[in-house]
Structure 1
Amino acid sequence: MSFELKAPSAPDKPTLYVELAEQAQALLQGECDRVANAANLAALIWHGLPDLNWAGFYFVHEGAQGRELVLGPFQGKPACVRIGWGRGVCGTAALELRTQVVEDVHAFPGHIACDAASNAEIVVPLLRGAELLGVLDLDSPLRGRFDEDDRAGLERLAAIWVASLDAQA
């Protein structure tokens, strides 16, 4: 497979996310491995969106400690490996099954500071029907970095990743 990452050319966020969605579909087409596709999507987001200091995945894990989120592919500094259900922004998104847009992580009760430079965060649940597979997590050093355009765009990218799991390899 040949794929060329295109530099974002969009004049606004909604158009930028349309471009990223088109690239994501082309990048993930025909591959159904969740780790490979998560790694490529994290890299695409990292290079395609401005003002990020972390972009990656946490996957649901059922273990001796109960249900938790475990670190998956990402771009950025090393991160927390395990996040308890309902803890921090990621655990809250998993528990509530809804996207969390946090303008100021320092004001979020129970925020888990993996990188002290992070000031804003958005976390999108990865849902296959009613089943939670994990979350897509993005951090930014800029307070208020994420808004409703980001929510809509990242939810679309998350849906493309989930749909790729059913692709014929």
Structure 2
Amino acid sequence: MYDFQPDPALGKAELYRQLCDAADALTRDEVDGVANMANVAALIWEFVPELNWAGFYRMGANANGAKELVLGPFVGRPACIRIPLGKGVCGTAASEGATQLVEDVHAFPGHIACDAASRSEVVVPVMRAGEVAAVIDLDSPEAARFDAEDAAGLEKLAQILAERI
């Protein structure tokens, strides 16, 4: 049994260090990417406060063979299943291969509103061999919830997961 209990008084840097350590421990010897994404989504939910959605979109293809993001394991309300590259915060992160830190999702051009309660979002691409394999997506009902420290912590997490999902 795993019992990862972060201290709510931790600063962000230490919180993300412990999150990365826990994710590394849970995924190190597991070869199933879906299982690893599921466990890490649950860890994020436990470690990162003020979220209403935490999870993954993985790179896939539509019926015509065009690349797009497909919903992966998550914690939160039901979500959009497919996101075209370049659309919304997740699609932009995937098409640019760059972290997106959005203080107000309603001001983001082309924002896809899967949950009307979301106000801010951070999306980090998980890169494998120079290609986006998935994105880590966190939504919050709080405006401007995420900052550069959140992005940096999630980018470290993405590096750990790159070959494990």
Shorter-chain TM-score: which interval? over 0.9
SS of 1:118's equivalent?
coil
| 1:84 maps to 2:102 | no
The residue correspondences of 1:95-114 to structure 2 (distance < 5 A) are: 95-114=95-114
SS of 1:160's equivalent?
helix
By how many angstroms is 1:56 displaced? 0.6
By how many angstroms is 1:19 displaced? 1.0
Letter paired with 2:2: F
TM-score w.r.t. structure 2 length?
A: 0.95
SS of 1:156's equivalent?
helix
Aligned to 1:120: 120
Aligned to 1:20: 19
| 1:146 maps to 2:118 | no
Q: Count matched residues.
A: 164
SS of 1:64's equivalent?
coil
- Structure 1, unaligned stretches of length 5 or more? none
Runs (4+) of structure 1 exceeding 4 A deviation are none
Do the aligned partners of 2:60 and 2:69 also contact (CA within 8 Å) in 1?
Answer: yes
**What is the aligned-residue identity percentage?**
57
SS of 1:124's equivalent?
strand
Q: Deviations over 1:82-117 (max 9, x none)?
A: 001100000000010000000000000000000000
The 2-side partners of 1:52 and 1:11 are apart by 17
By how many angstroms is 1:27 displaced? 1.3
Q: Which moved more, 1:58-67 or 1:13-22?
A: 58-67
The 2-side partners of 1:92 and 1:149 are apart by 20
Do the aligned partners of 2:70 and 2:81 also contact (CA within 8 Å) in 1?
Answer: yes
The 2-side partners of 1:134 and 1:20 are apart by 19
- Structure 2, unaligned stretches of length 5 or more? none
Aligned to 1:52: 51
By how many angstroms is 1:64 displaced? 2.6
